[in-house]
Amino acid sequence: MTYMSRRFFHLLLLLLGVSLISFVFISLAPGNYLDEMRLNPQISPETVAALKSQLGLDRSVPVRYWEWLKSLTRGDMGYSFSYNQSAASLIWPRARNTLFLTVIATMFAWLMAIPIGVWSAERHGRVDDRLISTATGSLLAVPELLIALGLLWFAARTHVLPTGGMVSLDYDTFSFAGKLKDVSSHLLLPVVALALGMIPILVRHIRAAVTEVLRSPFYIAAAGHGIPRRTLLFRYALRAAANPLITLLGFSIGSLLSASMLVEVVLGWPGLGPLLLESVLARDLYVVVGSVMLSALFLAGGSFTADLLLYWHDPRIRAQ
């Protein structure tokens, strides 16, 4: 339990550091939310000054940061200047959509990568293994932006899949099966875009980890006892290679979260990405900080989940 307590304490320190750095950098950036109002001749300087005082933009950065920390205890996460409501009411629905997309994409990427990586390791050095290595290397060179744009072009030309949003306009009139099909059709493009960017990395790491196990004495001895090849690969070899792969799980969640911001903007998924871009352009301070904080929370949560799985899987960590 000491190990997990220490990891949880590190998680809290990380989130505190991210919030402080984000708040300071955004606050010290030139310009603020009221700059466009100053350019409007119909709005007097006195009105702008009154709004600046009302929004708290005339206070020092430490005071505003302390006030924002107190708003976290109330669940507000600050105040949105653009939408005239609490930042939390804007961020949480978008964060739920981003987390939903990332979890589905992570599951899809791992379900595809594990059999491909294990099979490639078992066929190490042969023609099919080289073909997989060439394909993953080529896919690694393609940025997620280009993949998302290609999928968007395909959907726009063929009209097979929707090109944006999470549900259709008449979603409420569908049956349960119709609603499930509608959400799945909207989810497919962003999931494929994220998974195609992550699968090559996962396949290469799984292949390397399993290849090392296949050369170990225990695996050679187990193969000599006549155990079926599929059982050897997926029950023994994959389990023995699990430690680095569990650590990779946390990394994959973080990578997909960072990539999802861009994919959401391109493919019109209503997640944190479009909200963050819109808030940055509008200088909506607390929405930006809250969005960054939740992204960091998801990233740290993925790493913490990997630590939990590693703690459960490896008795050596529990013994320490």
If asked whether residues 282 and 188 sit together in one domain, one would say yes
* pLDDT reading at 226 higher than 70: yes
* DSSP for residue 225: T
Q: How many CB atoms lie within 10 A of CB 28?
A: 8
If asked whether residues 143 and 163 sit together in one domain, one would say yes
Domain termination site, one of 40, 65, 87: 87
Return d(Cα 67, Cα 64) in angstroms, integer: 5
To the nearest 10°, report the CA torsion of 253, 254, 258, 260: 10
If asked whether residues 119 and 235 sit together in one domain, one would say yes
If asked whether residues 66 and 160 sit together in one domain, one would say no
If asked whether residues 120 and 195 sit together in one domain, one would say yes
pLDDT in tens, 239-250: 777 777 887 887
Residue 36: band (very low, low, confident or very high) from pLDDT cuts 50, 70, 90: low
If asked whether residues 98 and 43 sit together in one domain, one would say no
Can you read off the two tokens belonging to residue 302?
A: 């993925």
Q: How many CB atoms lie within 10 A of CB 230?
A: 10
Return d(Cα 8, Cα 185) in angstroms, integer: 37
If asked whether residues 61 and 111 sit together in one domain, one would say no
Return d(Cα 243, Cα 241) in angstroms, integer: 6
- The count of C-alpha atoms lying within 13 angstroms of the C-alpha of 244, restricted to the half-sphere facing its C-beta, is 16
Return d(Cα 54, Cα 69) in angstroms, integer: 18
Angle between helices 87-122 and 272-282 (to 10 degrees): 130
Looking up residue 303, the CATH number of its domain turns out to be 1.10.3720.10
Residue 191: band (very low, low, confident or very high) from pLDDT cuts 50, 70, 90: very high
To the nearest 10°, report the CA torsion of 84, 88, 93, 96: 160
Domain termination site, one of 26, 58, 87: 87
Average pLDDT over residues 111-134: 86
Return d(Cα 202, Cα 165) in angstroms, integer: 28
| Best-predicted range by mean pLDDT (20-24, 92-96, 162-166) | 92-96
Least confidently predicted of 84-88, 161-165, 166-170, 305-309: 305-309
1 vs 223, residue with greater confidence? 223
Supply the range of the domain harboring residue 233. Answer: 93-319
If asked whether residues 73 and 198 sit together in one domain, one would say no
Q: What DSSP line would sit under 257-293, residue for residue?
A: HHHHHHHHHHHT--SHHHHHHHHHHHT-HHHHHHHHH
Average pLDDT over residues 43-70: 78
Burial 121-150 (b: 16+ CB within 10 A, else e): bbeeeeeebeebeeebeeeeeeebeebbee
If asked whether residues 276 and 252 sit together in one domain, one would say yes
* pLDDT for residue 39: 67
Q: How many CB atoms lie within 10 A of CB 60?
A: 9
If asked whether residues 32 and 179 sit together in one domain, one would say no
Asked if residues 191 and 105 have their Cβ atoms less than 8 Å apart, the reply is yes
Q: What are residue 86's DSSP bridge partners?
A: 79
- When divided into structural domains, the chain yields a total of 2
Domain termination site, one of 41, 69, 87: 87
Q: Residue 110: helix, strand or coil by DSSP?
A: helix
If asked whether residues 176 and 197 sit together in one domain, one would say yes
- The count of C-alpha atoms lying within 13 angstroms of the C-alpha of 255, restricted to the half-sphere facing its C-beta, is 21
Residue 265 has φ and ψ, to the nearest 5°, of -65, -45
If asked whether residues 58 and 32 sit together in one domain, one would say yes
pLDDT in tens, 72-111: 888 778 788 888 888 888 888 898 898 899 889 988 999 9
pLDDT in tens, 259-315: 788 888 888 889 888 888 888 888 888 888 888 888 888 887 777 777 777 777 666
